[in-house]
Amino acid sequence: MSGGSNSHSCHGSQVVQAPPGARKIVLAGNPNVGKSLFFNAFTGLYVDVSNFPGTTVTISSGVMGDDVVIDTPGVYGVSSFNEEEMVARDIIAEADIVVNVVDAVHLERDLFLTQQLIDMALPLVVALNMVDEAEARGVSVDAVALAERLGVPVVPTIAVERKGFDRVRATLDEAVPGISDPVLQDRLLSLLDRVGTKAEALLVLEGDPYVAERHGVEPLGMRDEIYMDRRRRVNDIVARVVSQRDRSLDLRTRLGHALLRPLTGIPVLLVVLWLMYEVIGVLVAQTIVGFTEGVVMQGYVEPALRAAAAAVVGTGVIFELIAGEFGVVTLTITYVLGLLLPLVVGFYLMLSVLEDSGYLPRIAALTDRLMTAIGLNGRAIIPIILGFGCITMATITTRILGNERERKIATALMAFAIPCSAQLGVIVALLAAAGGLGITIAYATIMFLVFGLIGLALSRYLPGSSTDLLIDLPPLRLPRPMNVLTKTYHKTVMFLREVVLYFAAGALLLATLQLTGALEAAQVALAPLTETWLNLPRETATAFIMGFVRRDFGAAGLYDLGLGGAATLVSLVTITLFVPCIASVLVIMKERGRAFTVFTWVGSVVLAFLVGGIVARVLVLAGVV
């Protein structure tokens, strides 16, 4: 989700240290207003940019001149409602200068945070972003009047076109605490001797239990009063500086509504899924992979590598380790570059388009009722969809969910039942080869049922209750090709960096097992499980052993076995439900704890073979096999 110098924050503790003399410049703003674009421009480092709230869940920091720039998760206000807010809260409270990015179209919402930052007495510069989109929607904002009312510099910007960045940078020295409410400021002064800063005093006054505890004082329950007063001040400012020509619903808004209503929304969702199948399953998995894996790798690269290896080391054990059936070099290169790379690029391209269009929060609203049945609300669909990209990253994104119970359910669902892009790519390729759309639908139905059952069980047995959906919908936007390509590029590089090492280690393990005869012994030992229980050839044991390294590695192991339709279905259901990859296990351990990690890991092995066996039995009973 981010490159460059990136520090992960645990449980809201402050982790970004600035060198002496450097100012901490903190980017703050509502979700989805373009903070990350400012961060990219200021520091030259890359962080993800999407069109849905919650893209930035970890803290990124970088250097601009002598100063340190810190990007924060988007929040609608500073307090402790969820983990994103707690992370943002501590970094904002310690800022030397806050660059508050606001969305010119939604000033009524965004200025609430601005006014809160002003009430916290933090030196502020406001970047009035998306002035072009506001203009296109008939909203015009008087930036000069806004600066006068707020008492801080206001710089109009168009971040996606990189306009206004220099002016924001040049204005940093003019950052000042703005115009707050005098009565409120008096109250803050009276707290200062007990709570070090006005920023934290305000949070105590607003009843933040964590900040109060830090200073050994009781939280004061004045939030409602302060919030309503602040809301009045903001509405007053908006009424004076914003003018809107036309409030009738434009086409884009109407289209957005159609995506929310099941009658129109579900068919659109199905068409989107079908399009993804056509692009990834048919175009990439068959045509492109057929060329890269079949022609380039098998036809040219592997023979060349084998010849080169033979010329250097002869034909002994070393040759087998390097370039044999499971040779570290040949297997890694063929699988990673020939098979997975095209699939992962295709998948991330599609996912990036979805992310940037603003469609994801609408899917959240569309699936809310279904998600409520499994103890989640619609918002959980966002980490789950991102899980189809990478489970490891998506597990971190579960921080956007309302409480720990929801985060546990979502994490377990992904660890058990959601295949990541690399795995899904191989799966779709195998399904398409084994029987096309019919078997794909059978696979999807089984996975959907298992997903639902796991959700129902967890929702029933995990104590507590889940929160209600409460999200704002970003406008629909046409994705910018440059952003889609950049994001795909960065995600693909990250994938390659991570996967090569695991694949090489997995190949080394397999080659060693094969050379020592342990692989054949394992295939024989596992035969009751593979042959008797799953009705699969015993060679599939190799794929499951590979699955312990990574599920996509395991799925790739099935690629060369030439299985029939029924065997493909059974083996794919089993490998999908198999253990999460090592990287995800580490993140699950960090986010959810050891006991929960053991539960998902052991549970996934049991569940994979249980469900796989049931599918195999049903296929026999139905007379398919």
Task: Provide the binding-site residues for another protein, judged by CB under 8 A.
Answer: 76-77, 79, 81, 105-106, 108-109, 112-113, 137, 139, 223-224, 227-228, 231, 234-235, 244-248, 253, 256-257, 260-263, 265, 361, 364-370, 372, 377-378, 468-473
Minimum CB–partner distance for residue 270 and another protein (Å) = 14
Q: Return contacts of 47-50, CB within 8 angstroms, 24+ apart.
A: 47/1, 47/2, 47/3, 47/4, 47/71, 48/1, 48/2, 48/487, 48/490, 49/356, 49/483, 49/487, 50/352, 50/355, 50/356, 50/487
Nearest CB to another protein, comparing residues 65 and 262: 262
In one letter, which amino acid is 178? G
Q: How far is the CB of 412 from another protein (least distance, A)?
A: 22
CB of 602 to another protein, least distance (A): 34
The distance of closest approach from Cβ of residue 476 to another protein in the complex, given in angstroms and rounded to an integer, is: 11
Residue 278 Cβ vs another protein, minimum distance, rounded to whole Å: 26
Nearer to another protein, 113 or 199 (CB): 113
Nearer to another protein, 361 or 387 (CB): 361
**Which of residues 222 and 561 has its CB atom nearest to another protein in the complex?**
222
Nearer to another protein, 437 or 469 (CB): 469
Token pair for 234: 């903001």
Q: Which residue has the tokens 């390097």?
A: 322
Strand boundaries in 299-454, DSSP class E: none
Q: How far is the CB of 576 from another protein (least distance, A)?
A: 27
Q: What is the DSSP string of 358-399?
A: THHHHHHHHTHHHHHHTT--GGGHHHHHHHTT-HHHHHHHGG
* Nearer CB in complex with another protein: 214/223: 223
CB 124 within 8 A of CB 117: yes
Residues in the chain: 625
**Cα end-to-end span (Å), the chain:** 44
Nearer to another protein among residue 221 and residue 481 (C-beta) = 221
Cα separations (Å) of 319 from 323, 507, 517, 553? Answer: 6, 13, 17, 22
Q: Cα(358)–Cα(32) distance, rounded to whole angstroms?
A: 10
Cβ atoms 406, 467 nearer than 8 A: yes
Shortest separation between residue 464's beta carbon and another protein, angstroms: 15
- Angstrom distance (rounded) from CA 164 to CA 178: 21
Least separation in angstroms between residue 10's CB and another protein is 23
| CB 558, CB 479: distance < 8 Å | no
State in angstroms the smallest separation of the CB of 359 from another protein.
14
Task: Please say which residue, 150 or 577, places its beta carbon nearer to another protein.
Answer: 150
Nearer Cβ to another protein (381/555) = 381
Residues 6 or more apart whose CB falls under 8 angstroms from that of 583 comprise 392, 498, 502
